[in-house]
Structure 1
Amino acid sequence: MSEIQCQVANIEPLTDTVYKVELTPSSPMSFKAGQYILVHMGENDKRPFSIANAAWDNDRIELHIGADEGNAYATEVLERMRNDGTITLSGGHGEAFLKPNGKPMILIAGGTGFSYTWSILQEHLHSNDATPITLYWGGRHADDLYLADELTALAEKHDKFTFIPVVEFAHDDWSGRTGWVHHAAMADHADFANVQVYVAGRFEMAKVVREDFTTRGLSKDDLFGDAFAFI
Structure 2
Amino acid sequence: MQIIQCKVEKVEALTNTIKRVVLIPEHSLNFVAGQYLQVVMGKDDKRPFSIANAPRKDGTIELHIGAEPGNHYSGQVIEKMLKDKSIQVEGGLGKACLSQTDTQATILLAGGTGFSYVYSILQQILSQPLQAPVILYWGTRTLNDMYAFEELTTLANQHPLFTFIPVIETPEQDWAGKTGWVHKAVLEDIADLSTYQVFVAGRFEMAKVVRDDFTKQGLQMSNLFGDAYAFI
Q: Please give the TM-score of this superposition, normalised by the length of structure 2.
A: 0.97
Partner of 1:126: 127
The answer on whether the counterparts of 1:28 and 1:58 sit within 8 Å (CA) in structure 2 is no
Q: Deviations over 1:76-121 (max 9, x none)?
A: 0000000000000011000000125332000000000000000000
Structure 1 position 173, deviation (Å): 1.5
The answer on whether the counterparts of 2:183 and 2:210 sit within 8 Å (CA) in structure 1 is yes
Partner of 2:184: 183
Partner of 2:224: 223
CA–CA distance in 2 between the matches of 1:87 and 1:116? 21
The answer on 1:171 being equivalent to 2:172 is: yes
CA–CA distance in 1 between the matches of 2:57 and 2:183? 29
Query: Which AA in structure 2 matches 1:48?
Result: P
Structure 1 position 132, deviation (Å): 1.3
CA–CA distance in 1 between the matches of 2:33 and 2:56? 9
Task: Give structure 1 stretches of 5+ with no counterpart.
Answer: none
CA–CA distance in 1 between the matches of 2:9 and 2:103? 37
CA–CA distance in 2 between the matches of 1:206 and 1:57? 32
CA–CA distance in 1 between the matches of 2:9 and 2:40? 18
CA–CA distance in 2 between the matches of 1:93 and 1:169? 34
Q: How does 1:59-70 map to 2 (within 5 A)?
A: 59-70=59-70
Partner of 1:34: 34
Q: Structure 1 residues 58 and 90 mapped into 2: Cα distance closer, same or farther (>3 Å)?
A: farther
Structure 1 position 138, deviation (Å): 0.2
Partner of 1:144: 145
Query: Which AA in structure 1 matches 2:122?
Result: L
How many aligned positions are there?
A: 231
Partner of 2:7: 7
CA–CA distance in 2 between the matches of 1:10 and 1:49? 16
The answer on whether the counterparts of 1:117 and 1:200 sit within 8 Å (CA) in structure 2 is yes
Structure 1 position 129, deviation (Å): 4.0
Deviates more, 1:112-121 or 1:184-193: 184-193
Question: Which secondary structure state, in structure 2, belongs to the residue aligned with residue 126 of structure 1?
Answer: coil
Question: Which secondary structure state, in structure 2, belongs to the residue aligned with residue 82 of structure 1?
Answer: helix
Partner of 2:104: 103
The answer on whether the counterparts of 1:23 and 1:60 sit within 8 Å (CA) in structure 2 is yes
Structure 1 position 208, deviation (Å): 0.3
Q: Structure 1 residues 58 and 113 mapped into 2: Cα distance closer, same or farther (>3 Å)?
A: farther
CA–CA distance in 2 between the matches of 1:22 and 1:121? 18
Structure 1 position 57, deviation (Å): 4.7
Task: Give structure 2 stretches of 5+ with no counterpart.
Answer: none
Question: Which secondary structure state, in structure 1, belongs to the residue aligned with residue 210 of structure 2?
Answer: helix
CA–CA distance in 1 between the matches of 2:146 and 2:213? 24
Runs (4+) off by over 4 Å: none
The answer on whether the counterparts of 2:130 and 2:161 sit within 8 Å (CA) in structure 1 is no
The answer on whether the counterparts of 2:199 and 2:225 sit within 8 Å (CA) in structure 1 is yes
The answer on whether the counterparts of 2:33 and 2:97 sit within 8 Å (CA) in structure 1 is yes
Partner of 1:206: 207
Question: Which secondary structure state, in structure 1, belongs to the residue aligned with residue 75 of structure 2?
Answer: helix
Q: Please give the TM-score of this superposition, normalised by the length of structure 1.
A: 0.98
CA RMSD of aligned residues (A): 1.0
Question: Which secondary structure state, in structure 2, belongs to the residue aligned with residue 30 of structure 1?
Answer: coil
